[in-house]
Structure 1
Amino acid sequence: MSKSNKLKIFNDPIYGFIRIPSTLIFDLIAHPYFQRLRRISQMGLSYLVYPGAHHTRFHHALGCMHLMQKSIQVLRFKGVALSEEEEQGLLCAILLHDIGHGPFSHAMEHSIVENISHEAISLRFMQELNTMFNGSLTVAIAIFNGEHDRKFLNQLVSSQLDMDRLDYLKRDSFYTGVAEGNTNAERLITMLNVVDGNLVVEEKGIYSVEKFLMARRFMYWQVYLHKTGVVAEQLLIRILKRARYLIKRKQSLVASEALLYFLNHRIDIKNFDDATLRLFSRLDDVDVFGAMKLWQYADDFILSELCKMILDRKLLHIKIKNEPYKPEKLKDKFLKTQERFKLSDEETSYLVFDGVIANKAYDRDEQNINILKKNGKIVDVAELSDHLNLNALSKTVTKYYVCYPKNTV
């Protein structure tokens, strides 16, 4: 295939046409590791709340790359020197930043493997691809790891105002129909600049930053931490936990080879080798959905019921409060459920449980969003803001949930 045939475009519902800028980017997108992202949902089981939320990590990665192209154009226009090598590194780093996500994205991040973040697995994929592409991703990996000597390059990929967050807020808002989460990503990008090697936002963009942070806070409570999504995610985690439990006790379960491997083995950072990476690359939402469709007919009551709950959207009841659920009330739900279904303590724990969710819209301890004032002074956005109290958004809001079967009175 000639080079010209690789400079294609995608038609995106958010931004319109997204251009593939180079042969390397085309070849990365065409690689099976990246094509797998077409089968990894961006928002896990959120479609059970918002029926339109079926977009994938593939959509998101392309959107991030598009915004990065815009950012590079803006910064060069403002006199920030960026070499072709750095441009290619930025585009590859943001394109591949989520390639390490497993099935249902964050919902099962620590269920398939133990204590390995999707960022760590993304790095492993990038290193593997770097070998395949003869070192073409060396700069991208340095940027991704924050090891490049120009700090703002990493900030464009991973910070509190990066291309990742700009795209997922806008994209998730679009596909859920939650308009309050929509942000003007293009406006924010035009306000970006670099001072002393760090990314800043020009003062006239402060209200766009405020709206972005408020939109992020709203999306977390209204969408990402919606109570139905929370209980569905917990059920999914418990399905895999139960499957592991049964397999450990020599009970036969049918699933794909890749899924059975991760259910049969405890995989952590120490034994996540190249062979494991290749098996992980064969794992996506389809494996888990296929398993649930089979396991709903399993002899084990707990596994069968949990699968039916998700497939039929007949979920556990969930209550979310500002204070922890009283232990005596939780115990009462536990005992009533145990008696109702004739279960052991261990079995009942899959159906009655509590937990914590937390949200912080802006973390002042992590790569601040800095505003460049007209007099050249750099100020944290939370200190400069007079329109909204961003200091309040810097505090962690914690809520407590309890889940139990419906009709458990």
Structure 2
Amino acid sequence: MSTEINKLKIFNDPIYGFITLPNTLIYDLVQHSYFQRLRRISQMGLSYLVYPGAHHTRFHHALGCMHIMQKAMEVLRFKGVEISKEEEKALYIAILLHDIGHGPFSHAMEHSIVEDVNHESISLLFMDELNEQFNGELTLAIQIFKEEYPRKFMLQLISSQLDMDRMDYLRRDSFYTGVAEGNINSERLIQMMNVVDDTLVIEEKGIYSVEKFLMARRLMYWQAYLHKTSLVAEVILTKVLKRAKELTQRGIVLPCSQPLLFFMQHKITQEDFDSKTLNLFAQLDDYDIISALKMWQYHDDYVLKNLSSMIINRDLLKVKISEDKFTQEQVDALINKFIKLTGLTFHDASYFVTRGKIKNQAYSKDSEPIRILKKDKTIEDVVTASDQLNLKALTKPVTKYYICFPKVLAEK
């Protein structure tokens, strides 16, 4: 029966127009429940509380990345770069699955549902599992993803300071948020790509597009990804889950989905991630979290109830951003003020006051550089090659500090 299905599908994408699936294996991967789950995971976490249009998903993004990888293959082959059919297929698989390990609300949940297991390692676990199900057809993609393949430029296309992932998310996130400063010319960047000694380079005439890309990245971080309202919403969400775990561990049964309950009852580290755990993780998405918050906002526990309600009704904690660090004394003073108002214990009141820091660095000198191929065939780091003084500034990490606390304390 399955042989009659037309697997060469076309998706209509608001950014690129039509996206075509290059082969039947990609179709089967997209159809897999692990990948379909990405339709239920928002690309920008809780940013829709700031930008109402930011409801696009990881599913959108993964297909977009694969589409621009197809464009990159055309350009590189046209310029004489040897890429075999097997390598091409592996690159499509690797870029399609690069984010498959994200949990609910993307980054917000990374260290709340599981203990210190990042999404990259979960992505690899998913790839290994899929590789078994697809009789080893993902082996080369996994080698490239793990930096075990000798052709360095292939990994750079998937993960570097100018990869398909960043090119798609900047353009897509800027489109859905309406933050015009994040828009980049991904077509031109791809047209300017080349490979020298198995290393990815951008031809000199594309340097302004690279400068624009780095500026756009910096502005998107301040205006969207590190926006103070998204930031405080993510802080609250991690606190909710921390509280839910604490109550569950005390033997209080909270209403929620089975997969979520499993992760609240067990402390899951990298070592514990067997295939049973992976399959439970694959059942988790934004919907589990939202439906839990909707129920928890009516719970008897003051902390759980109020924090859940803050997200559901978008009535968040107040957040202040500063160039200077907030001290523990400032935190304690706010907690004590809140105790006077509510009669909570210090432990419970401290759920409502948090300090932390955010860092923005558009271009890192310590990572793999973006290389510019000059007309005389020499290769330079973009910062050296550029006449834009701003680019030097973009290499400096900018750190800001924040403190969140209940709004009632701001009125006192």
Task: Quickly name the TM-score band, shorter chain normalised.
Answer: over 0.9
Which residue is 1:97 aligned to?
98
Alpha-carbon deviation of 1:327? 4.2
- Give a deviation string over 1:129-165, Cα, whole Å, max 9, x none: 0010011101110111111110000100000000000
Partners of 2:329 and 2:139 lie apart in 1 by 56
Which residue is 2:239 aligned to?
238
Which residue is 1:330 aligned to?
331
Identity of aligned residues (%): 63
- Give a deviation string over 1:231-279, Cα, whole Å, max 9, x none: 0000000000000110111111011110000000000111111110011
Q: How does 1:59-74 map to 2 (within 5 A)?
A: 59-74=60-75
**1:106 lines up with 2:107 in the alignment:** yes
Instruction: Return the letter of the residue paired with 1:369.
Output: I
Instruction: Return the letter of the residue paired with 1:78.
Output: K
Instruction: Report the 3-state secondary structure (helix = DSSP H, G, I; strand = E; otherwise coil) of the residue aligned with 2:229.
Output: helix
Asked whether the equivalents of residues 3 and 23 of structure 1 are also in contact (C-alpha less than 8 Å), the reply is no
Asked whether the equivalents of residues 247 and 263 of structure 1 are also in contact (C-alpha less than 8 Å), the reply is yes
Asked whether the equivalents of residues 210 and 388 of structure 1 are also in contact (C-alpha less than 8 Å), the reply is no
Q: How does 1:156-195 map to 2 (within 5 A)?
A: 156-195=157-196
- Give a deviation string over 1:271-328, Cα, whole Å, max 9, x none: 1111100110001001111110110111100000000000000000000000012444
The runs of 5 or more residues in structure 1 that have no matched partner are: none
- Give a deviation string over 1:364-391, Cα, whole Å, max 9, x none: 1111100000001110001111124212
Alpha-carbon deviation of 1:115? 1.2
How many residues end up aligned between the 2 structures? 409
Instruction: Report the 3-state secondary structure (helix = DSSP H, G, I; strand = E; otherwise coil) of the residue aligned with 2:11.
Output: strand
Which residue is 2:405 aligned to?
404
Partners of 2:336 and 2:288 lie apart in 1 by 35
Asked whether the equivalents of residues 41 and 285 of structure 1 are also in contact (C-alpha less than 8 Å), the reply is yes
Partners of 1:388 and 1:288 lie apart in 2 by 45
Instruction: Report the 3-state secondary structure (helix = DSSP H, G, I; strand = E; otherwise coil) of the residue aligned with 1:199.
Output: strand
Partners of 2:329 and 2:28 lie apart in 1 by 58
Asked whether the equivalents of residues 144 and 154 of structure 1 are also in contact (C-alpha less than 8 Å), the reply is yes
Asked whether the equivalents of residues 259 and 287 of structure 1 are also in contact (C-alpha less than 8 Å), the reply is yes
Which residue is 2:256 aligned to?
255
Instruction: Report the 3-state secondary structure (helix = DSSP H, G, I; strand = E; otherwise coil) of the residue aligned with 2:19.
Output: strand
Which residue is 2:154 aligned to?
153
Which residue is 2:363 aligned to?
362
Which residue is 1:224 aligned to?
225
**1:55 lines up with 2:73 in the alignment:** no
Instruction: Return the letter of the residue paired with 1:31.
Output: H
Partners of 2:399 and 2:252 lie apart in 1 by 39
Q: How does 1:262-301 map to 2 (within 5 A)?
A: 262-301=263-302
- After TM superposition, the score normalised by the length of structure 2 is 0.98
Partners of 1:341 and 1:54 lie apart in 2 by 36
- Give a deviation string over 1:93-113, Cα, whole Å, max 9, x none: 000000000000011111111
Which residue is 2:388 aligned to?
387
Partners of 1:135 and 1:299 lie apart in 2 by 51
Instruction: Report the 3-state secondary structure (helix = DSSP H, G, I; strand = E; otherwise coil) of the residue aligned with 2:315.
Output: coil
Partners of 2:59 and 2:252 lie apart in 1 by 36
Instruction: Report the 3-state secondary structure (helix = DSSP H, G, I; strand = E; otherwise coil) of the residue aligned with 1:60.
Output: helix
Instruction: Report the 3-state secondary structure (helix = DSSP H, G, I; strand = E; otherwise coil) of the residue aligned with 2:195.
Output: strand
- After TM superposition, the score normalised by the length of structure 1 is 0.99
Which residue is 1:211 aligned to?
212
Instruction: Report the 3-state secondary structure (helix = DSSP H, G, I; strand = E; otherwise coil) of the residue aligned with 1:407.
Output: helix
Cα 1:79–1:4 shift into 2, 3 Å: farther
Instruction: Return the letter of the residue paired with 2:382.
Output: V
Asked whether the equivalents of residues 370 and 381 of structure 1 are also in contact (C-alpha less than 8 Å), the reply is yes
Which residue is 1:81 aligned to?
82
Instruction: Return the letter of the residue paired with 2:242.
Output: K
Which residue is 1:40 aligned to?
41
Instruction: Return the letter of the residue paired with 2:160.
Output: S
Alpha-carbon deviation of 1:331? 2.8
Partners of 1:389 and 1:279 lie apart in 2 by 47
Partners of 1:160 and 1:175 lie apart in 2 by 22
Partners of 1:208 and 1:289 lie apart in 2 by 39
Partners of 1:40 and 1:198 lie apart in 2 by 33
Instruction: Return the letter of the residue paired with 1:335.
Output: N
Cα 1:169–1:3 shift into 2, 3 Å: farther
The runs of 5 or more residues in structure 2 that have no matched partner are: none
Instruction: Return the letter of the residue paired with 2:25.
Output: L
Partners of 1:145 and 1:328 lie apart in 2 by 44
Higher mean displacement: 167-176 or 105-114: 105-114
Which residue is 1:5 aligned to?
6
Instruction: Return the letter of the residue paired with 2:278.
Output: L
